């Protein structure tokens, strides 16, 4: 087992989450979060991912979350960056979406869709399922802008 699969050191009160930036044909897969008031960022477009379970490392956590939420794990997932504040440590991974969106299972959230660079810059995305426009979560938009600027999006994807 490599170190990326071992549990990462964290204080007991620090929440650890993994998030996946998945891309296909120059667009990014996003999840329209449920409108439940008790969840963080209700009703906005965000990344698939979630909490890392006790004893689980970030690499294993992102794969488990994607399997649970989408029924899909990309062949390659690489850490883009991680950031922490006094409450949350976020691990942002990236990878190619190698299957059509129609083959994904939406097991959490209200909708899923590919988000264009223009949507990212505007901070809004239309949901065909709800027939309305919804905002991108601010940290998700910020991470996507950084990803676009990083040059990591394959040239065929840009």
The pLDDT > 70 percentage for the chain reads: 90
Convert the pLDDT of each residue in 53-102 to its tens digit: 999 999 999 999 999 999 999 999 999 999 999 999 999 999 999 999 99
DSSP element (H, E) containing 82: strand 78-84
pTM tops 0.85: yes
Mean pLDDT of 7-12: 51
State the Cα–Cα distance between residues 135 and 133, nearest whole angstrom.
7
DSSP element (H, E) containing 148: helix 138-150
Which residue from 157, 146, 149, 134 is spatially nearest to 19, judged by alpha carbons? Answer: 146
Q: What are phi and psi of 154, to 5 degrees?
A: -50, 145
Q: Are 31 and 48 in contact (CB under 8 A)?
A: yes
Least confident of 2-16, 83-97, 114-128, 140-154: 2-16
């Amino acid at each position: 087992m490599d170190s990326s699969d071992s549990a990462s050191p964290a204080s007991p009160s620090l929440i650890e989450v993994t998030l996946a930036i998945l891309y296909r044909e120059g667009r990014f897969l996003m999840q329209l979060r449920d409108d439940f008031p008790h969840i963080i960022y209700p009703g906005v477009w965000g990344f698939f991912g979630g909490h890392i379970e006790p004893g689980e490392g970030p690499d294993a956590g992102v794969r488990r979350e994607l399997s649970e939420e989408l029924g899909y794990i990309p062949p390659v997932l690489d850490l883009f960056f991680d950031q922490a504040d006094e409450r949350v440590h976020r691990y942002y991974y990236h990878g190619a979406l190698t299957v059509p969106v129609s083959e994904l299972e939406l097991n959490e959230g209200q909708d899923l869709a590919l988000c264009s660079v223009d949507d990212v810059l505007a901070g809004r995305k239309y949901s065909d399922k709800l027939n309305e426009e919804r905002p991108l979560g601010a940290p998700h938009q910020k991470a996507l802008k950084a990803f676009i600027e990083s040059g990591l999006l394959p040239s065929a994807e840009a």
